[in-house]
Amino acid sequence: MPGKRTSESGGPDAAAERAAFLRVEIERFNRAYHGLDAPIVPDAEYDRLFAELQSIEAARPDLLVGDSPTQRVGASARSDLPEISHAVPMLSLGNAFSVEDVVAFDRRITDLLKSAEPIEYAAELKFDGLAINLRYEAGLLVGAATRGDGTKGEDVTPNVRTIAVVPLRLTGTHPPALLEVRGEALMFHTDFDALNARQRARNEREFVNPRNAAAGSLRQLDSKVTAQRPLRFFAYGIGSFEPGTRDQEVPSTHAALMDWFVELGIPVCEHRVVVKGVDGLLSFYRDTAERRPLLPYDIDGVVYKVNDFAAQGKLGFVSRAPRFAIAHKFPAQEALSTIQNIEVQVGRTGAITPVAKLDPVFVGGVTVTNATLHNEDEILRKDIRIGDTVVVRRAGDVIPEVVSVVLERRGPDTYPFVMPSVCPVCGSNIVRLPEEAIARCTGGLFCSAQRKEALLHFAQRRALDIEGLGEKLVDQLIERRVVETPADLFRLDLSALLQLDRMAQKSAHNLLDAIEKAKHTTLARFIFSLGIRHVGEATAKDLARHFGSLEALMIAREEELLGVAQVGPIAALSILRFFEEPHNRAVIEQLRLDGVRWDTTGGTVRTQNGEIAGRVFVLTGTLTHLTREQAKERIERAGGKVSDSVSKKTQFVVAGDAAGSKLDRAVELGVPVLDEAAFLTLLGSDSP
């Protein structure tokens, strides 16, 4: 029985062992990707291992064996689908990953063709789908096959016939006697999203990405299933050809071939150009990279082909790929890494987001060390644990995320993540409300992570209306630690403000005047200013009317809150959790001590105007004597309600200058329309 292979020094042959290991792994990956439509590792990991095997075989030709993955394409056909042999092999392409690789490719072509002029290339997109071959005889589609291992593929003719864009009969009066069209079956993003939505509705397995969805759909044993899947097709090459007339022949260039396909009714992608030299190639690559996020389908690079078919013939092929073409890949959007820890980040609205702390990994053109895990449910759904090997994805400027776990690499030392119960920033309680996926910090008035959002909301026009306290000023107040909670606003003095950038005496005095004015408000505005989740302006008014005082609201039980018209179970819990948090109560008490007072009537109705009480109003256009807010407040204080849209339930539409579609809708429905004078009369005065 032979022992382990040894090197010249008599020790184990490390290169031979590594090559053997890589061949087994790559064949396993090929089978999963091409045969089962269930990839185990990202493309970048596959490319890395494949390139390593190529490098070993190049350095050690004695290790190159006939059944090496570097000598074949894809994987063998599935045993449950009939096989079709390709008359012309369907080869793969070599890869370029850098500018230097493209320069070297162009130099080889130029040298082999002995050309003194820049080479003319056809440049097109590299689709992320499934390669197929369409066979037309006398213009009729008679067969379709996947690429398989390059020499034999699966017969998917019945399924391809369900793809609406694939012509069953070629257009034109003189079709070729035989034409094999090479191209890609793929799925558009919108179609993929709709398909997964249907899968979720049926409680069926969702597809990982459009490529898997397209491949799985095309390999169905029942073509009725494929017919329900929205597949597309783009042609990019030719296989066998036999003329239909004596003088019929294939066009002389790749670009002309694509134009001919269009005439025959075969779909061809419009994003294709003819360029000259390496500068033209790289320009197309850059332009495509910029356009990539806007495309309706996935691509993972671009393809360069020598445009002239005669020149292609001279260049020929090497093992599994043509010399005359190469795929220039974009930086990998997915890669493997290991989760070292999971921490949580607190967003500006208190949202708690779990974040994976990763071993550094180069993906999407940058080195990534953090990736979002979205929420606790996503962690459980994907079964992500600390210590796991995971697939990390970064597309364009999108925040990196963990896509999935490589379960076969899970070790015994991994362990689950537990969502913390208190905020890591401020120590307030973390609460997840029913029917919400996101957990949140409840210390909205106190938490420094929420400070900017809390201050801007507190000061906005519909809350305490502190004019002049805008985003840039709030940024300065926070950065210099002048203001930490809304209560600190009422302790600002002139000297502190004058130290801020671009703050003059007049602006500082105006801001202090606005802050002083804000000390006197209504209960409804104050409740709204607190920024309680699910408590909008209308709900705040209802709470003020119902409880009449802040003290009564702060000690209200859940059943009491549910008695308020605008308050449902989720809003009730949100209110309870907010006032249960000691940090929030402390800030409210400090606001009292700093002189903030609110109308103890709670904004209840002062006058029950019989013409207004219980009526629904819609405001449109610009009023002369009242702002939209003032008009709304006057209606509500008289017992009426204000709606944003006109319906049959609307009693009056108040129309100011430049009234828009709401006025047209009122006329259409016969709703009474009031001008400003009539509105003021209805309110009981002719001035504000």
* SS3 readout for 111-177: HHHCCCCCCEEEEEEEECCEEEEEEEECCEEEEEEECCCCCEEEECHHHHCCCCCCCCECCCCCCCC
Domain hosting residue 29, numbered range: 15-71
Q: How much is the pLDDT for 100?
A: 94
**What is the pLDDT averaged over residues 640-644?**
85
**What is the pLDDT averaged over residues 413-433?**
95
367 and 263 in a single domain? The answer is no
Torsion angle (degrees, nearest 10) of CA 576, 580, 585, 587: -80
Q: Is the pLDDT of residue 1 over 50?
A: no
540 and 673 in a single domain? The answer is no
Q: Is the pLDDT of residue 644 over 80?
A: yes
The answer to the question of residue 3 being in a domain is no
The domain that holds 350 is classified in CATH as: 2.40.50.140
Q: How much is the pLDDT for 660?
A: 85
pLDDT tens per residue, range 25-67? 888 887 776 556 567 777 778 888 888 888 898 888 888 876 6
Q: Is the pLDDT of residue 635 over 60?
A: yes
339 and 263 in a single domain? The answer is no
The answer to the question of residue 604 being in a domain is no
The domain that holds 547 is classified in CATH as: 1.10.150.20
Q: What is the rounded distance in angstroms from the CA atom of residue 652 to the CA atom of residue 634? A: 14
Q: Is the pLDDT of residue 9 over 50?
A: no
pLDDT tens per residue, range 315-342? 998 877 899 999 999 887 788 999 999 9
pTM of the complete model: 0.58
Of residues 678 and 80, the one with the higher pLDDT is: 678
Q: How much is the pLDDT for 257?
A: 97
Query: Chain-wide mean pLDDT for the chain?
Result: 88
Domain end position, chosen among 393, 416, 439: 416
Q: What is the rounded distance in angstroms from the CA atom of residue 522 to the CA atom of residue 598? A: 5
Of residues 449 and 602, the one with the higher pLDDT is: 449
Which segment of 4-13, 166-175, 299-308, 393-402 scores lowest on mean pLDDT? 4-13
**What is the pLDDT averaged over residues 273-281?**
96
- Residue 150 binned pLDDT confidence (cut-offs 50, 70, 90): confident
Q: Is the pLDDT of residue 388 over 70?
A: yes
Domain end position, chosen among 279, 300, 329: 329
Q: How much is the pLDDT for 35?
A: 57
The answer to the question of residue 203 being in a domain is yes
Which amino acid is present at 526?
A: F
125 and 60 in a single domain? The answer is no
238 and 322 in a single domain? The answer is yes
Q: Is the pLDDT of residue 380 over 80?
A: yes
Estimate to the nearest angstrom the gap between the alpha carbon of 113 and the chain centroid: 45
The answer to the question of residue 88 being in a domain is no
Angle (CA) 504 506 509, round 5°: 105
The domain that holds 647 is classified in CATH as: 3.40.50.10190
Q: Is the pLDDT of residue 251 over 70?
A: yes
Q: Which helix or strand (DSSP H or E) is residue 23 part of?
A: helix 14-30
Which segment of 334-343, 365-374, 463-472, 506-515 scores lowest on mean pLDDT? 365-374
Q: Is the pLDDT of residue 430 over 90?
A: yes
The per-residue b/e assignment along 497-517, b for 16 or more CB within 10 angstroms, e otherwise, is beebeebeeeebeebbebbee
Of residues 362 and 346, the one with the higher pLDDT is: 346
474 and 394 in a single domain? The answer is no
- Residue 4 binned pLDDT confidence (cut-offs 50, 70, 90): very low
Domain end position, chosen among 365, 394, 416: 416
Nearest in space to 183 (alpha carbons), one of 233, 242, 145: 233
Q: Is the pLDDT of residue 144 over 60?
A: yes
The answer to the question of residue 537 being in a domain is yes
Q: How much is the pLDDT for 79?
A: 55
Q: How many CB atoms lie within 10 A of CB 136?
A: 22
The answer to the question of residue 670 being in a domain is yes
- Tally the domains of the chain: 5
Percentage of residues in the chain having pLDDT higher than 90 = 58
The reply to whether 126 belongs to the active site is yes
Q: Six-digit token pair at 48?
A: 């890395």
491 and 553 in a single domain? The answer is yes
Q: How much is the pLDDT for 3?
A: 41
631 and 668 in a single domain? The answer is yes
The answer to the question of residue 206 being in a domain is yes
Do the Cβ atoms of 454 and 533 come closer than 8 Å? no
pLDDT tens per residue, range 52-110? 888 898 888 888 876 687 765 545 555 567 888 898 988 888 889 889 999 999 999 99
The answer to the question of residue 86 being in a domain is no
Q: How much is the pLDDT for 634?
A: 82
Q: How much is the pLDDT for 333?
A: 78
Q: Is the pLDDT of residue 376 over 60?
A: yes
395 and 303 in a single domain? The answer is no
pLDDT tens per residue, range 481-535? 999 999 999 999 999 999 999 899 999 999 999 999 999 999 999 999 999 999 9
Which DSSP symbol is given to 605? -
Do the Cβ atoms of 351 and 430 come closer than 8 Å? no
**What is the pLDDT averaged over residues 607-624?**
81
59 and 195 in a single domain? The answer is no
Residue 600 makes CB contacts below 8 A (sequence gap 6+) with: 523, 548, 549
pLDDT tens per residue, range 397-413? 678 899 889 988 999 99
**What is the pLDDT averaged over residues 454-473?**
94
321 and 345 in a single domain? The answer is no
Q: What is the rounded distance in angstroms from the CA atom of residue 183 to the CA atom of residue 130? A: 8
Estimate to the nearest angstrom the gap between the alpha carbon of 543 and the chain centroid: 38
DSSP result, 356-420: EEEEEEEETTEEEEEEE---HHHHHHHT-EET-EEEEE--TTSPPEEEEE-GGG--TT-EE----
Q: How much is the pLDDT for 45?
A: 83
170 and 38 in a single domain? The answer is no
Q: How much is the pLDDT for 603?
A: 44
Active-site pick, 4, 126, 357, 506: 126
Q: How much is the pLDDT for 230?
A: 87
